[in-house]
Amino acid sequence: MSQLFHIDAFTTTPFRGNPAGVVLDADGLSSAQMQDLARELKHSETAFVLAPQRCGGDAPHDVLIRYFTPTTEVPICGHATIAAHYARAVALGLGTVELTQKTGAGVQRIRVERQPDGDYRILMRQGPLSFGQPLPPAVRQAAARALGLAEGDFAPGLPLQVVSTGHSKVMVPLRDGVALDAIAPDHAALAALSARIGCNGWFPFQLRACGRATDGRMFAPAIGIPEDPVTGNANGPLGAYLVRHGLMAHDGKLLRFDGHQGRALRRDGVVQVEVTIGQDGPQQVSISGSAVILFSAPLDVGRLAASSSTPAAPCAPAG
């Protein structure tokens, strides 16, 4: 029988961090049923964990995971990945182990670390880095209006830029003194601008004055997420952006920092980010975090109303 979890990721405190739905053993669900469940749960993302698939040309992987917002399927989600592997580790009683997952963004490496107290920490190696061109002045002006900011609130000399490690976000650097928690976007305008540039997530951020840490907020109304509390797929690309633009000191090989998010929603959480650095700049991003289970319950797939004849995955389970 499938198992449904509500998990708060990037925190060890219930009702903080980023809530995610997780369904283990989800192979009996159709795509439409997954979407219905995600809409019903109303989390920014719900992760459905399936058996590995045997498809021609597929890279070897240990699990397949699909991710749904309340309105659409997305290729990958950082906090729901942390939540999914946390739920799986608890359910299976895992020790420290490394594995691979296949998602809509390819194959990622996961490390499950069992802590001395028996709890778990999950590390995810994110996908290949890509940087878009700086947003042109007209789009930059429209972004300021949509975010409820003045153009002078952006950090001078830095671009608004799409960065991706599998699910792209717009990095929006803010100057010191801008009240990050007071930002109140025009969600309709932001969604329209997302369609215009082909990127659905907007990540305003600031550097903390002391220590290797940042504060950020993430808005994605174009995919049904007015604000996401704590976002692995934003803080990871942020690490690459910090290295590319020389915004945080490092030793030339590795940058580590804590990405703080969620304060404005009273869902504070922290994403630990690591960026490996080569001669050409940032090379690879990993994120890690803790999680806590709020509740779990059996999910009788057979009793769900069949809403689609489309199978959950098109290929036969491997093994």
pLDDT at 307 over 50: no
Lowest mean pLDDT among 39-48, 273-282, 305-314: 305-314
Radius of gyration (C-alpha) of the chain in whole angstroms: 19
**Are the CB atoms for 120 and 292 separated by under 8 Å?**
no
Q: Which residues contact 274 (CB under 8 A, 6 or more apart)?
A: 239, 254, 255, 256, 285, 286, 287, 288
Lowest mean pLDDT among 47-56, 82-91, 142-151, 270-279: 47-56
Nearest partner of 76 among 153, 207, 196, 164, judged by Cα: 164
Q: Label residue 211 by pLDDT band (50, 70, 90).
A: confident
Alpha helices (runs of H) in the chain, residue ranges in sequence order: 31-41, 78-92, 137-147, 187-197, 232-244
In the set 45, 113, 151, 274, the catalytic residue is: 45
CB atoms closer than 10 angstroms to residue 284:
16
Q: What is the pLDDT of residue 315?
A: 54
**Local structure of residue 184 (DSSP, 8 states):** -
**Are the CB atoms for 239 and 282 separated by under 8 Å?**
yes
pLDDT at 314 over 50: no
What angle, rounded to 10 degrees, do the helices at 78-92 and 232-244 form? 130
204: left (phi over 0), alpha (psi -120 to 50) or beta: beta
Determine the Cα–Cα distance for residues 134 and 261; give it in Å rounded to an integer: 24
Determine the Cα–Cα distance for residues 104 and 112; give it in Å rounded to an integer: 21
Q: What is the pLDDT of residues 196-205, one digit of tens each?
A: 999 999 999 9
Backbone angles phi, psi at 191, to 5 degrees: -65, -40
Handedness of CA 22, 257, 202, 197 (dihedral sign): negative
Determine the Cα–Cα distance for residues 231 and 41; give it in Å rounded to an integer: 18
Q: Which residues contact 181 (CB under 8 A, 6 or more apart)?
A: 217, 263, 264
Distance of CA 104 to the CA centre of its chain: 13
| Widest pairwise Cα distance in the chain | 57
Determine the Cα–Cα distance for residues 6 and 136; give it in Å rounded to an integer: 41
Determine the Cα–Cα distance for residues 207 and 174; give it in Å rounded to an integer: 9
73 a catalytic residue: no
Q: What is the pLDDT of residues 49-93, one digit of tens each?
A: 999 987 766 789 999 999 999 999 999 999 999 999 999 999 999
**Are the CB atoms for 104 and 262 separated by under 8 Å?**
no
